[in-house]
């Protein structure tokens, strides 16, 4: 069977997108997803998304990790699927859609950047040497003064598979404070490697930074390996609402592949 696909990236976090409004791809198997995301034998991507119809909202986002496992929320993926929906003519410059963690809304500005509303964050766990925050996906956050020197793959993998997180595991973010905001590197669960960006990780890192250092602004610049994101929110009594992730969502190419 030939599959028509589209490739997008958000600050280097790349995804395969499939228009599944006709439900043709409803039964993709884990091994097929793993093959499609393979960078040597397939298309190559950090994840795969199906754009499905929804009765009440513009569409449904069905996300899978590159290892074939079902994913939790993906912030950069969410921004890319919004840009994809516009390309298909499903939406114009604003949308409401459903993902694994519930309802989201998003806006596309004149430069093509996507501003995606994330879930509210009401629980922040501050441990002895790290934070843990769920922003639609679980994130372990460590502050470090020299993240460029870290072996993110080895250290991230150790934490991801540690006894603290059991079988479910976690994403791991290493955060360095900069004058203009923060810089992060992320080991992603499901990709099982460092990625060039992680949207939910950017949100979790920005919130932990605000909680720890109390900067003047609630609009945080987040530098990732693949570019730059903006995270904004409203904080009240350690609860974070109106959380938005803003950044580019770029179409790369489209094509067909035999599966």
Active site residues: 74, 198
DSSP E strands in the chain: the ranges are: 2-10, 13-19, 47-52, 59-65, 94-99, 102-108, 114-117, 124-126, 131-134, 138-143, 171-178, 181-188, 193-195, 219-224, 227-236, 239-247, 250-258
Tokens found for residue 203: 């949100």
Give 149's contacts (C-beta < 8 A, 6+ positions apart). Answer: none
CA–CA gap between residue 154 and residue 93 (Å, rounded): 41
DSSP of 88-134, one letter per residue? HTS-SSEEEEEETTEEEEEEE-TTS-EEEE---B--EEE-SS-EEEE
Tokens found for residue 39: 């960078």
Rg of the chain taking only CA atoms, in angstroms: 17
């Amino acid at each position: 069977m030939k599959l028509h696909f589209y490739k997008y990236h958000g600050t280097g976090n790349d995804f395969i997108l499939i228009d599944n409004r006709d439900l043709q791809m409803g039964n993709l198997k884990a091994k097929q997803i793993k093959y499609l995301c393979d960078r040597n034998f397939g298309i190559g991507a950090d994840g795969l998304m199906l754009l499905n119809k929804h009765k009440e909202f513009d569409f449904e986002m069905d996300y899978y990790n590159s290892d074939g496992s079902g994913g939790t929320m993906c912030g950069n993926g969410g921004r890319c699927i919004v840009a994809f929906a516009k390309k298909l003519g499903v939406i114009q410059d604003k949308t409401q859609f459903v993902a694994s963690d519930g309802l989201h809304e998003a806006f596309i500005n004149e430069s093509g950047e996507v501003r995606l509303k994330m879930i509210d964050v009401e629980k922040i766990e501050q441990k002895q040497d790290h934070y843990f925050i769920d922003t639609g996906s679980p994130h372990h956050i460590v502050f470090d003064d020299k993240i460029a020197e870290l072996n993110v793959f080895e250290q991230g993998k150790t934490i991801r598979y540690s006894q603290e997180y059991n079988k479910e595991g976690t994403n791991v973010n290493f955060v360095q404070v900069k004058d203009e905001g923060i810089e992060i590197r992320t080991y992603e669960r499901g990709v099982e490697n460092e990625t060039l960006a992680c949207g939910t990780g950017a949100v979790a890192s920005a919130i932990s930074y605000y909680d720890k250092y109390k900067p003047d602004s609630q609009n945080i610049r987040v530098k990732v390996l693949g570019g730059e994101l903006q995270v904004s929110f409203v904080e009240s009594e350690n609860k974070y609402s109106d959380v938005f992730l803003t950044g580019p969502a770029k179409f790369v190419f489209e094509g067909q592949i035999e599966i």
